[in-house]
């Protein structure tokens, strides 16, 4: 055999070997999403599908699971009314944790069941509003917990990516706009090969290519004067819409705010860049309080836990999502707040 044909043969044999090896390993299976529609305008997966997820090149945190009947991970099928609904993004979706270790899983145990979650990766406040507007009339939960993290505020005015919602402000009037999702046939093709799934889902090569093709990292919102005005308009609109939908059921609304874990974990200078924009955070807290919503701020809770146990609350530096410690602390805080509310309700004449 000659040298050049040998190269082709060597390449094919190696790819076949890699495909066989990866088929035996916990490569991310990819979770198929359902096309979004005007009737259900938010990101959700195809219901009742089994999946395997693992993180990064080393297939870390491998976990199997099943999507619930509404197209959400780490949630029981939706049954009954009058329970608790946790709405959020990838932090609540928690592919990297078992159900029992998530906020909703722990609350489910603490409250004796009837806790559900509606969360998808990349969700922002506009998505949480759409989810609330869809599910509150159907589930009529007694409590709704909205998870809020820094990007929800810094990216408040960003155009929505496929499958998600965003806010637009036209002549001072905010509105929610949806960017429809259609599953690409290419994704179905990718799911047939372990090597392709590894490249696409574990290495996230498509994301890397689009980052490499763009001129550089997206400029962070600097919270300029125009931005402040627009964000305040949007947040006022958001809270008033939540108020409207929650009051018809009626549901008690809690906002669960993430802390700046990177700063907490850094024991000495150089301090990392703050996760939250202080001005945005203050604005959110002020408007939430103005609309009569309760906010659970996880920052002091995380600080206390770190000081005592020196125990990390995420998967950093690989992954900034909450680990089971942060979920447990959050569930305990929510539970305490619910108990206090219940006690106050019983004590009132």
Partner 1 sequence: MLFNSFPFFLIFLPSTLLGYFILARFSLRLSNLFLLFASVLFYGYWDAAYLPLLLGSIAANFVIGLHLSREKQAGRDSPAKLALCLGLLFNLGLLGFYKYIDFILGSLAWLTGTDHAPLEIRLPIGISFFTFTQIAYLVDCHAARVREYKAENYGLFVSYFPHLIAGPILHHKEMMPQFDRPDAHAFMPGRVAVGMMFFTIGLFKKVVLADGVARFVAPVFDLGHAQLTMQEAWSGALAYTFQLYFDFSAYSDMAYGLSYMFGIVLPINFNSPYKARSIIEFWRRWHITLSDFLRDYLYIPLGGSRRGSGRRYFNLLLTMLLGGLWHGANWTFVAWGGLHGGYLIINHAARHLLGERRSRVANLLGWPCTFLAVVVGWVFFRASSVEVAIEIIRAMFWGTAGADVGSGLLGSNRLMALDECALWLLALGSIAFFAPNAYDMIGRARLPEQELRYGRGTGGVIVGACLVLTLLLLAISETRGVSEFLYFNF
Region from 71-79, 105-113, 220-228, 262-270 binding partner 1, contact rule CB under 8 A: 262-270
Measured CA to CA, the distance from residue 45 to residue 33 in angstroms comes to: 4
DSSP character for 108? H
- Using rule CB under 8 A, residue 25 touches partner 1: no
Rounded to 10 deg, the angle between the 324-347 and 298-309 helix axes is 130
Site for partner 1, residues 191 to 210, rule: CB under 8 A = 199, 203-205, 207-208
* DSSP 8-state symbol, 202: I
Long-range contacts of 149-152 (CB under 8 A, 24+ apart): 149/89, 149/91, 149/257, 149/258, 150/258, 150/260, 150/275, 150/276, 150/277, 150/281, 151/124, 152/89, 152/124, 152/125
Kindly state whether residue 324 participates in binding partner 1, applying the rule CB under 8 A: yes
Q: Which part of the chain contacts partner 1 (CB under 8 A), choosing from 8-16, 35-43, 70-78, 125-133? A: 8-16
**Interface with partner 1, residue 140, by CB under 8 A:** no
Contact 178, 165 (CB under 8 A): yes
Contact 233, 174 (CB under 8 A): yes
The piece of 4-12, 84-92, 138-146, 223-231 that touches partner 1 (CB under 8 A) is: 4-12
Q: Return the residues of window 200-259 that contact partner 1 according to CB under 8 A.
A: 203-205, 207-208
Task: Name the residue nearer to partner 1 (CB basis): 238 or 306.
Answer: 306
Smaller CB distance to partner 1: residue 47 or 59? 59
> Two tokens at 325?
């410690």
Instruction: Please choose, from the candidates 150, 99, 101, 87, the residue with its C-alpha nearest in 3D space to the C-alpha of residue 325.
Output: 101
To the nearest whole angstrom, how small is the minimum distance from the Cβ of residue 73 to partner 1? 22
Which CB atom, from 317 or from 349, has the smaller least distance to partner 1?
317
Q: Residues in the site for partner 1, rule: CB under 8 A? A: 1-15, 18, 56-58, 199, 203-205, 207-208, 265-267, 305, 308-312, 317-318, 323-325, 328
């Amino acid at each position: 055999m000659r040298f050049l044909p040998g190269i082709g043969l060597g390449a094919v044999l190696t790819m076949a070997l890699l495909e066989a090896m990866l088929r035996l390993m916990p490569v991310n299976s990819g979770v198929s999403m359902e096309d979004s529609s005007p009737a259900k305008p938010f990101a959700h997966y195809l219901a009742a599908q089994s999946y395997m997820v693992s993180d990064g090149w080393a297939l870390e945190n491998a976990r199997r699971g099943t999507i619930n009947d509404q197209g959400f991970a780490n949630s029981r099928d939706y049954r009954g009314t009058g329970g608790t609904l946790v709405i959020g993004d990838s932090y609540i979706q928690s592919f990297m944790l078992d159900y029992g270790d998530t906020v909703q899983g722990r609350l489910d145990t603490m409250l004796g069941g009837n806790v559900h979650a509606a969360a998808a990766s990349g969700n922002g406040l506009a998505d949480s509003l759409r989810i609330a507007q869809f599910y509150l009339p159907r589930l009529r939960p007694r409590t709704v917990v909205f998870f809020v993290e820094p990007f929800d505020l810094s990216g408040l005015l960003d155009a929505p990516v496929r499958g998600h919602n965003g806010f637009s402000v036209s002549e001072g009037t905010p509105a929610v706009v949806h960017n429809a999702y259609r599953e690409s046939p290419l994704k179905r093709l990718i799911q047939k090969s372990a090597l392709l799934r590894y490249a696409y889902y574990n290495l996230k090569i498509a994301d890397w290519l689009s980052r490499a093709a763009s001129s550089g990292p997206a400029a962070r919102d600097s919270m300029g004067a125009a931005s402040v005005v627009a964000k305040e308009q949007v947040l006022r609109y958001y809270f008033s819409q939540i108020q409207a939908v929650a009051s018809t059921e009626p549901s008690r609304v809690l906002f669960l705010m993430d802390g700046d874990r990177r700063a907490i974990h850094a024991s000495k200078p150089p301090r990392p860049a703050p996760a939250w924009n202080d001005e945005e955070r203050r604005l959110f807290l002020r408007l939430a309080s103005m609309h009569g919503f309760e906010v659970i701020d996880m920052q002091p809770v995380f600080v206390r836990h770190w000081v005592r146990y020196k125990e990390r609350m995420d998967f950093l530096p690989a992954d900034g999502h909450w680990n089971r410690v942060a979920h447990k602390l959050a569930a305990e805080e929510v539970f305490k707040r619910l108990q206090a509310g219940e006690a106050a309700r019983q004590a009132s004449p």
